Structures are given as C-alpha cells and as structure tokens.
C-alpha cells in the first residue's frame, strides 16, 4: 500500500494538501477549519470515482450474461470494496496527520534530526515553536479518537471536522491537552 501510495501522483497531491491544511490550522477560524475538512473529505473520495467507474463498466459488460441474483451479489461486493477504499483513504489522511504531529513532538522535544516529513520542515518548526511535546501528544490522541470514530461508521465529514478543530485547539492553546475531547456523533 505504501508503494502504491508513493507511485500515485494523486495520492502525493493528497498528502501535500493534508500537510498544507495542517500548516494553516494556527491561523484558521472555525469556518476555515470546516472548509478544510470538507475539502479533505472530497479528496479522500476522489480515487473512489475511478473504482466506481471500473465496477460499473465491468457490471455493464457482463449484465447480459448474469442472473439477477448474481448481479446483486456483484453490486454488494462492489459496495464493500468502495467502503474499504474509503476507509483506507481516511486512514491515510489520519496517518499523514499523525506523522506531522509526531514530527512536531520530536521537534518540540529538541530532536529535530528525527523529523520524518523533511519536505515540510518549516511548518513543523513553526508549529513546534508555538506548542510543546505534551500538546503534540494530546493532538495525536485526538487523531486516534478520529480513527476509532471512523471505524464505528461515524460520518467522515464529522470526524474530520472534529479532529481538525481539536488538533488546532490543542496545539495552539485554545484547549488544554487534558480537556474533554470533542464528541463524535453520527
């Protein structure tokens, strides 16, 4: 999956956009964050359009030869595949976010040689200068809560909204790291 991710220009552009959004969080108001989340959710779903088109073409090609029960089984399989692809893309989003936050944590702790996302070092240094390792760790916990909520089929839009708002608030002092987390609802 990692190799596929690195070979895909679309996924690399997705990573760049996620990192760009994260770098903008400090100056973003709530409406900006909600807009960022909506944009990221759209980008999460972009690869699904290709998969969906391939599935529909395959089904249309074979529809004349298949019984209705077989078509329903193929449609159910296709739906499961789309759900799995959506979950994978959402995990990529949260994985990129966790990686960026981890880099902030190590930068804030004085271990700048351990930064993994060297291509966005300026945003990491800027964020680390405005926070501390404990807040970065608390923000990583917020991302993990988002992962859990997504695994329970909570709306991706809701999860990403809440995650970005919580990460911003924790990192930049609008909330204490041990404050109650945002609620994730369906």
| Mean pLDDT score across all residues of the chain | 83
Instruction: Give the span between the Cα atoms of 25 and 161, in whole angstroms.
Output: 12
Is residue 35 over pLDDT 70? Answer: yes
Residue in 186, 136, 159, 164 with CA at minimum distance from that of residue 31: 164
Per-residue model confidence as pLDDT tens digits over 82-121: 677 778 889 999 999 999 999 999 999 999 889 999 999 9
Are residues 107 and 115 in contact, defined by beta-carbon separation less than 8 angstroms? yes
pLDDT value for 112: 87
Other Cβ atoms closer than 10 A to 7 = 9
pTM given for the model = 0.78
Is residue 171 over pLDDT 90? Answer: yes
Are residues 8 and 89 in contact, defined by beta-carbon separation less than 8 angstroms? no
Domain boundaries, the chain: 2-171
Is residue 186 over pLDDT 70? Answer: no
Is residue 176 over pLDDT 50? Answer: no
Is residue 184 over pLDDT 80? Answer: no
Q: Please tell me the least confidently modeled range out of 8-17, 107-116, 117-126, 129-138.
A: 8-17
Per-residue model confidence as pLDDT tens digits over 142-159: 999 999 998 888 888 899
pLDDT value for 59: 64
């Amino acid at each position: 999956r990692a190799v596929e991710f690195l070979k895909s220009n679309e996924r690399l552009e997705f990573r760049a956009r996620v990192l760009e959004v994260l770098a903008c969080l400090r100056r973003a108001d709530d409406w900006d964050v909600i807009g960022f989340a909506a944009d990221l959710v759209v980008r999460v779903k972009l690869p699904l359009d290709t998969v969906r088109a391939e599935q529909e073409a395959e089904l249309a090609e074979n529809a004349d030869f298949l019984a209705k029960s077989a078509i329903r089984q193929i449609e159910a399989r296709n739906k499961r595949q789309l759900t799995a692809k959506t979950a994978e893309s959402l995990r990529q989003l949260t994985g990129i976010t966790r990686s960026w936050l981890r880099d902030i944590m190590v930068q804030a702790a004085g271990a700048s040689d351990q930064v993994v996302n060297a291509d966005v070092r300026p945003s990491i240094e800027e964020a680390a200068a405005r926070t501390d390792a404990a807040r970065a760790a608390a923000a990583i916990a917020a991302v993990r809560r988002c992962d859990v909520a997504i695994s329970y089929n909570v709306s991706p839009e809701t999860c990403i909204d809440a995650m970005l708002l919580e990460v911003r608030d924790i990192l930049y002092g609008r909330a204490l790291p041990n404050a109650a987390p945002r609620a994730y609802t369906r």
